[in-house]
Structure 1
Amino acid sequence: MIKFGSAGRGAAMVAAARVDPATARGGSDPQGDRVEVFAWATDDDPDKAAEKAAVDSLEEAFTEACPGQEFVNPVIAGGGQSDPKQALHPRLRENDPPDSFQVHPGAELMDYIDAGQLADLNDQFAQWGLSEVLPKGLLDAITVNGKIYTVPVGIHRLMLWSNREVLATAGLANQPATLGEFIHDLDALKASGVEHPLALGADWTQLELLEGVLLAELGPERFESLWTAKADWSGSDITGALDDYKKLLSYSNPDRDNLHWTDAAKRLSGGGAGYLFMGDWVVGELERDGLRDYSYQPFPGTGETFQWLGDSFVLPKNAPNAAGANSWLKTVGSVEGQKAFNTRKGSIPARTDANPADYPPYQQAAIADFKQLRLVPSCAHGSACTQAVAAAVISALGSFSSTGDIADLQAAIAAGVATYGDLRS
């Protein structure tokens, strides 16, 4: 197993060991020392400030590890596109790929794999020892037909966040352990004068909430089976879970369909809500909004699982600078590269051999849970679902938010999953 040694780079980063691109697996280098990497966070997207800082820090680690290699994100470097994915897709279709690009590890990879756009990374994983330091659930999620397709750099977790002051005013001192207890606490908050105690936004934030209910009521095996083309969405257990999801919507803010996730977070931090279900990237938003007295827990009833999503980078087929791309990916997979990225983003390393002392208390707790709990992927963020399935479910939830028709929601989700789900799962 390869682990980079430590070296100082000041307060901003910890340097990774040097990687010689000439010794990395890959072909010719027609564009010299320029390594073109499509990363999602751009300068004109304030909602991704933490992600931009994380990629910048990872870039610094790469530059230190690979002297002479120049990192270039074409979207940030004058590309004129605010959405890197929109700029990426035509290039992949035209066989003009960058050297690497960012993806969600998991089912989202299938779109690129089915299109024949990704090179497998089995040799690199063996050379770098990555298979030995990634948990089985994550390794399984990035492996298709025995081939590994991406290098995970960071992991996020979906959690239930609460404003402790708002809860205390309602006399709530204990965290809810079940969905029934959660609904009881929401009722207590309403009785204390909090009109809409569950903060909620639009689109994928509603899918996150649905996932929490489904996982709590159906368990991890049944939950994971729901997102393939062969899934059965007709059962009474599904209907019951959707009915409970509808019940939770009744505690949320009526303007949810027009609310960005950052605005939903502001409802919690400002005291207008007691709870918010969101990925742990919300920590930075809560603290920027001045909320320090908050608590967190898994969605009630899911405490034995770790519902995850992540960030990772891939090697496209026919990457112009394959040697430089492999140097980049080696940095992405290294202890020091993951430390540089995750200490800035608020996520945790994908590697299980990271030093918890390098991270603040929440991340230390998440690192411990990541090692010991059952990993369950998220549909809302590409680890459980293809992009098309997630889009279909989000669309169905958007309609349901207005109509409240459970039968229509159940049928619409079933149709979307059957049409766009992966048949091989």
Structure 2
Amino acid sequence: MIHERLSRRRYVKATGVTGAVSLAGLSGYLGDVRRQDGTLEIVHWWTAGGEEDALNALLEGFQEQYPDVEIDNNPAPGGAGSALDAAIRSRIVDQTPPSTFQIWPGESLRPYTDADVLASVEDLWDEEMREAYLASVMDVASPEDALVSVPLNIHRLNNLFYNVGIVEDVGVDPEGIEDPADLLEVLAAADDAGYTGMAHQTSTEWSTVQLWETVLIGQHGVETFEQYVAGETDGLEEQVRESLELVVEYGDYFSPDAGAIAWDEGNAQVIDGEAAFIHQGDWAAGQYGEADFEYESGWDYVPFPGTEGVYSMVIDSFVMPEPNPSPEATAAFLSYCGTIDAQERFNPIKGSIPPRTDVSTDGFPPFLQNQIEAFQGSDEQPTTIAHGTAVRPEVKSEIEETFARFLETEDVDETTQRLLDAHEAAGF
């Protein structure tokens, strides 16, 4: 699996956009940005599957309440958020920040809070909103104990989706797969029957990062995972190596065109009856609904083997860059994102669940109602590496670059050491 790519390290060297270092101190001379109240520029990466439809539903609801606000819908898709991140950092350097942009909360926010280029949104969180939001979500919205983002949804990362007809034809029971190693036997059985075992893309590294972190949790538990993301890697060599070895073995059953497809194209192979399984977040279900692929009869899911009782959270939020080109319109949009109406419109289409606890589930499809029940019954709700919440962007970049090389070499020893060293290599 050899893929040519411009690494994040080379990109940083080429552009000079170096994360927190580039952002530091900018707030002092951003004051001359011209304010253009009335036009709301929203930068996001929602262009695939049901994501675009979900965003459009959100914007439609917003404009019903704020018809005088003109919206500049400005997508920056690609690389599981990395293209957007590079674009935003560049615009902050150029003193042309947008009104708002989509970002994973938690550690992804720190370069911006360190540079003091995000406004506090404390005043937008009224008492009703504070009481309605899940405490764990509010925690990641305020990495420095000050609220700087408004979360809109919660995805579950540790899903294993499958084509019901294929697994019945192969004669396997996904409910009976007890751990990540057992999944390997099931993928082999699907391959023997003439199907692709796992519709996985390797054209970019993020899908493999999220697969690896989920395998690590499935094999060794959330405590080991959280020890790793905290940078406490002494004694974790065996666990990291074992999880990587299994990912390499899974690779024998990836899509034949894994190096040329995006995640939604892999997901389409499950819909079309070419592939048995795919490991993805709940957003995959949005694509199923768009394709009229029926839950339980056409597709179904189980928690990734070994992660029963775990709800690995992927959260999307919006922030207010400061100074802001449209402060009043931006405040209105962020306030709206925190409402019941916004979350009822957006989440059923997006394939996610609301972070507010008072949103009626009546309008949610059965799958998401099941996910809400799973969240409520979960014992642990870790954040994730691949989607930016669990580790600082500098550490995430080191991990992504490590996996970019891993996809080329499949060198488990080298990759294990680089993962163990990722925090130190990033300066943390």
Query: Is the CA contact (8 Å cut-off) linking 2:37 and 2:327 kept in structure 1?
Result: no
Residue 333 (structure 2) aligns with: 328
Q: Is the 8 A contact 1:257 1:398 kept in 2?
A: no
Q: What secondary structure is seen at the aligned counterpart in 1 of 2:154?
A: strand
Q: Which runs of 4+ in 1 moved over 6 A?
A: none
Matched with 2:228 is 226
Q: Deviations over 1:35-66 (max 9, x none)?
A: 3332333xxxxx52532222222222222223
| Aligned residue pairs, count | 382
The corresponding residue for 2:23 is none
Distance between the aligned counterparts of 1:289 and 1:61, measured in 2? 24
In structure 1, the partner of 2:132 is 133
* SS across alignment from 1:137: helix
Q: Secondary structure at the match of 1:117?
A: coil
Q: Which has the higher helix share?
A: 2
**d(CA) in 2 for partners of 1:60, 1:233:** 51
- The residue aligned with 2:187 is 186
Q: CA deviation at 1:400?
A: 2.2
Q: CA deviation at 1:305?
A: 0.8
- 1:324 is aligned with what amino acid? A
> Alignment partner of 2:68: what SS?
coil
- What residue number does 1:147 align with? 146
Match of 1:11 in 2: none
Aligned to 1:118: 118
Contact preservation (8 Å) 2:237, 2:420: no
Query: Which amino acid in 1 is paired with 2:69?
Result: Q
Aligned partner of 2:218 among 210, 216, 219: 216
Q: Which residue of the partner structure matches residue 366 of structure 2?
A: 361
In structure 1, C-alpha distance between the alignment counterparts of 2:138 and 2:44, rounded to whole Å: 22
Q: Residue in 1 aligned with 2:413? A: 407
Alignment CA distance shift 1:218-1:290 (3 Å): same
What residue identity is the alignment partner of 2:163? N
SS of 2:211's equivalent? Answer: helix
1:317 to 318, 322, 326: 322
Alignment deviations for residues 164-207 of structure 1 (CA, whole Å, 9 cap, x no partner): 1111112113522322432332233234343x412210121111
User: Which ranges in structure 2 are unaligned for 5 or more consecutive residues?
Assistant: 1-33, 77-82
Distance 1:271 1:66, change over 3 A: closer
State the match for 1:108 in structure 2: 108
TM superposition shift of 1:86? 4.7
Q: Distance in 2 between matches of 1:287 and 1:325?
A: 31
Q: 2: CA distance between counterparts of 1:365 and 1:75? A: 31
Letter in 1 for 2:188: D
Q: Are the structure 2 counterparts of residues 231 and 64 from structure 1 closer, same or farther at C-alpha, using a change threshold of 3 Å?
A: farther
Q: Could you say if the C-alpha distance between residues 186 and 32 of structure 1 is closer, same or farther in structure 2, counting changes exceeding 3 Å?
A: closer
Q: What's the offset of the Cα at 1:287? A: 5.1
Residue 79 (structure 1) aligns with: none
Does the 8 Å contact 2:100/2:320 carry over to 1?
A: yes
| Cα distance change, pair 193–343 in 1 and its aligned pair in 2 (3 A) | closer
* Residue equivalent to 1:66: 66
Identify unmatched segments of 5+ residues in structure 1.
1-28, 42-46, 77-82
Conserved? CA contact 1:199–1:264, under 8 Å: yes
Q: Give CA deviations for 1:50-98 in whole Å, capped at 9, x if unaligned.
A: 322222222222222234333333569xxxxxx6555432321244322
3-state DSSP of counterpart to 1:302? coil
1:161 corresponds in structure 2 to 161
Pair 1:170–1:151, CA change in 2 (3 A): same
Cα distance in 2 for residues equivalent to 1:272 and 1:74: 34
Corresponding residue number in structure 1 for 2:276 = 274
* Aligned residue number for residue 96 of structure 2: 96
Percent identity of paired positions between Structure 1 and Structure 2: 27
**Contact 2:353 / 2:371 at 8 angstroms: preserved in 1?**
yes
Match of 2:398 in 1: 392
1:120-152 per-position Cα deviation (integer Å, ceiling 9, x unaligned) = 223332x25333222232222222231122101
Contact kept in structure 2, 1:230 and 1:418, CA below 8 Å: no
- CA shift at 1:313, angstroms? 0.4
In 2, Cα distance between equivalents of 1:372 and 1:120 = 33
**AA aligned opposite 1:60:** E
Give TM-score scaled by structure 2 length: 0.81
2:109 and 2:143 in contact (8 A); partners too? no
8 Å CA contact retained: 1:104, 1:312 = yes
Amino acid across the alignment from 1:91: R
Out of 38, 43, 56, which is 2:43 matched to?
38
Partners of 2:166 and 2:53 in 1: how far apart? Answer: 32
Deviation at 1:278, TM superposition (A): 0.9
1:253 alignment counterpart: 255
Which whole-Å CA distance do the structure 2 matches of 1:221 and 1:244 have between them?
A: 20
Q: Bigger CA drift: 56-65 or 157-166?
A: 56-65
CA-CA distance at 1:230 after TM superposition: 4.7
Aligned partners of 2:179 and 2:219 also within 8 Å? no
Aligned-pair CA distance for 1:291: 4.3
Offset at 1:340?
A: 1.8
Query: Structure 1's 318 and 173: CA in aligned 2 closer, same or farther, altered over 3 A?
Result: same
CA shift, 1:30, in A, is 4.7
- How much does 1:238 deviate? 2.0
The question of whether the paired residues in 2 share the 8 Å contact of 1:156 and 1:280 is answered with yes
Contact 1:206 1:394 in 2 (8 A): no
CA shift, 1:394, in A, is 2.7
